[in-house]
A and B are shown apart, each in its own frame.
Chain A
């Protein structure tokens, strides 16, 4: 039996899973939409990965990352649960030890990680505002009648991207609607949008950060050729987009699961396990915390959300 490790990255838009072996080689990988239901998405994901996994392999570690990492960590009984910055950095450094800058744009967050000699020296993440991230792009794609996957190709056709407000999504959307109504061609609007995502990113999380090559661009939005093109153009540097750039978080957390293995063997059978959450409002004090209780096989495994920590 060969040992292998599962990493799951549950983002707001997509859920990613990889299985790696002891040499960090990818044995199986999958990328599906989260569709607002992380538990269901992970059930599907694990089912697919189980089918892809060759017979003589056993899972010796599970890690979860992404915004639903805690919930799914409980569901899969993961041996490590880590934030996505850590996971992305570890994943990237595994394949690109010389990287200096990681640009990452995901479904609802964006980040920049600066690395020197394999050590993270600084990073930034978007604060309150999710402007210019994947969820904005995919909602605009839908509005223009395109699939998010086609978006980038359309942008490349344009020779003259329209100017779009770069700071705020709400203004950007008004701009987009306006430009379409006065008759600009679709590809110019889409290219303008891709460019505004880049400008927004550089003015927000990239502000004050010294971006040095080699630069790696990852996260779901890195699959958008239009955005990549404008990063190249504006930074005037080569931008590396790995074929697995959208999976880097999952790879990173799988590597961490390997490093932190506890000697246990995990099963990928999830069909028989029930996993439910119940939300209640606590009325014991005037804070009225929203409590979330997590049940695995009808057994209470955790409860979140109370400020006092008692419930």
Chain B
């Protein structure tokens, strides 16, 4: 059976474990691209469009890396999670971009809750395409979702416990595909942990709670992931020392949210915009001075 290629970028950071468990259960072979490295990034820069954000370019790099190694690429089209919970247009367009770039067969499904297209329907569609029975697909879906819920619950508990830590606490507000990508956010997390900072992640809260909480800062927000991020700030702000807002250049939704946070939040805050430049020096200066300020090291 042909392997399913899963790009380790954007959607992987939301659905990766569900996909893995779903395919494992159905005994479908799959290949996940490696952590982003220079080679993959360069492929993305070469094949991506000029105006795409760094994360989308990275995604395309992963897809190019996989396309000749697999029979299929798994690329969903994620539109919305109900009214007023849109996703970024990149999430909507990725399938069509890749489909137009290469001939590789794509396994795809839509998530459009306005149209009643759910994850379950999507995975069922994929399972049938791969020749599995509805009965097995149902069981595999249940298995994958339960595992995902357990994992999420564990992560939320760890994240919440960090809020009571005695160390200097920073909430890293960022999309998971930026936060955990080797060439985007990884160095920043490493640096903060080396400096003995407790790093709290904006994506590791219960999004049902954070999504709703975002209304306390603004009722005008449009994008689901912006709402989740903003909500995490409302949730955590009394227990943290500072906020780092990390975004990939040029992210449209983030640039709006950034302006909003800057005006409405009264705790120390910095914005880091990453463009895939090769040196860490500029970022390090900003992180170092931010930590100095939080720890009060300047005032002795």
Do B285 and A124 touch (CB < 8 A)? Answer: no
Shortest Cβ gap from A186 to chain B (Å) = 34
A287 with B299: in contact, given A86-B289, A128-B249, A208-B262 (CB under 8 Å)?
A: no
A286 with B39: in contact, given A120-B299, A208-B263 (CB under 8 Å)?
A: yes
Do B271 and A127 touch (CB < 8 A)? Answer: yes
C-alpha spacing A307/B40, complex, angstroms: 15
| B270 cross-chain contacts in A, Cβ below 8 A | 123-125
A259 with B262: in contact, given A124-B270, A125-B286, A287-B37 (CB under 8 Å)?
A: no
Do A259 and B300 touch (CB < 8 A)? Answer: yes
| B284 cross-chain contacts in A, Cβ below 8 A | 83
Do B292 and A86 touch (CB < 8 A)? Answer: yes
For residue B273, CB closer than 8 A to chain A, the reply is yes
C-alpha spacing A83/B279, complex, angstroms: 16
C-alpha spacing A307/B181, complex, angstroms: 13
For residue A207, CB closer than 8 A to chain B, the reply is yes
| A127 cross-chain contacts in B, Cβ below 8 A | 271-273
Chain A residues bordering chain B, tally (CB within 8 A): 30
Which of A85, A124, A289 lies in contact with B292, CB distance below 8 A? A85
C-alpha spacing A128/B250, complex, angstroms: 11
For residue A90, CB closer than 8 A to chain B, the reply is yes
C-alpha spacing A82/B289, complex, angstroms: 8
Do A123 and B293 touch (CB < 8 A)? Answer: yes
| A118 cross-chain contacts in B, Cβ below 8 A | 299
For residue A280, CB closer than 8 A to chain B, the reply is no
For residue B29, CB closer than 8 A to chain A, the reply is no
For residue A290, CB closer than 8 A to chain B, the reply is yes
Do A122 and B268 touch (CB < 8 A)? Answer: yes
Question: 8 Å CB contacts to A: which residues of B51-84?
Answer: none
Which of A86, A207, A307 lies in contact with B187, CB distance below 8 A? A307
For residue A32, CB closer than 8 A to chain B, the reply is no
For residue B131, CB closer than 8 A to chain A, the reply is no
| B290 cross-chain contacts in A, Cβ below 8 A | 123
C-alpha spacing A67/B68, complex, angstroms: 44
Do B268 and A290 touch (CB < 8 A)? Answer: no
Known A86-B293, A125-B286; 9 more pairs at CB < 8 Å: A86-B298, A90-B298, A118-B299, A120-B293, A121-B268, A122-B269, A128-B273, A208-B262, A307-B182
